[in-house]
Amino acid sequence: MNAAPQKVSIVIADDHPMMLMGVRALLSTEPRYEIVGEATNAEDAIAMAKRLAPNIVVMDISLPGMNGLEAAGLLRRDMPSVKVVILSMYEEHEYVMSFIRSGASAYVLKNNSPQELLVALDAVEKGQAYFSPSISGKLLKERQGQLKEALPVLNDREREVLTLLAEGMLSREIAAKLCLSSRTIQKYRENIMAKLGLHTVADLTRYAISHKLIPLDKH
């Protein structure tokens, strides 16, 4: 006879009784989750986590005294096996960056569908990080902006040629791929090197990797 699957133990921390009730009701719809503790402040949530060793702590970002992000950082330091899911009303950059620094696993906006918390918990169970979609979109745009700032002196075609060179393609291969002449690609290569102050393809490759134009595992 097969043993019943082990439940995922969860501590909830929120100072609003209605939120606690709502999260409790939502998780009760999923038999694999077991709420082992509830707290109304971060200090009690940390104490519960140390005593009960839950798999996940679902914590409001705004708690009296220590906030949820500070608590997440302490839990990450003292109990790295415990995953923290942050519930927040805030989409602002500084909160998201603080979340990333805290080591928490998921950032879920309270004004989204309650079902999103279940999606986040499922991701966290699998060892993945989770952001509400609007947060993910902002982070992607920010990353794209950072990339363009990192290569301000190159135009779009030069960035494309640089990437292909760094991936190991020969000038004639790049020319065929981009429907340009080998002479044109050679001119792009010379311009790129002059603009970046680089002298060899190896230099270009290191530059492309350091600026995340190509993944490290390609080399």
With a cut of 70, say whether residue 102 has pLDDT above it: yes
The reported pLDDT for the residue numbered 93 is 76
Does pTM top 0.75 for this prediction? no
The reported pLDDT for the residue numbered 194 is 85
CA 23 to chain centre: 23
* pLDDT category of residue 152 using cuts at 50, 70 and 90: low
With a cut of 60, say whether residue 110 has pLDDT above it: yes
- pLDDT, mean of residues 20-45: 94
Domains defined for the chain, CATH in brackets: 8-142 (3.40.50.2300), 151-218 (1.10.10.10)
Q: Rounded to 10 degrees, what is the CA torsion of 17, 21, 24, 28?
A: 170
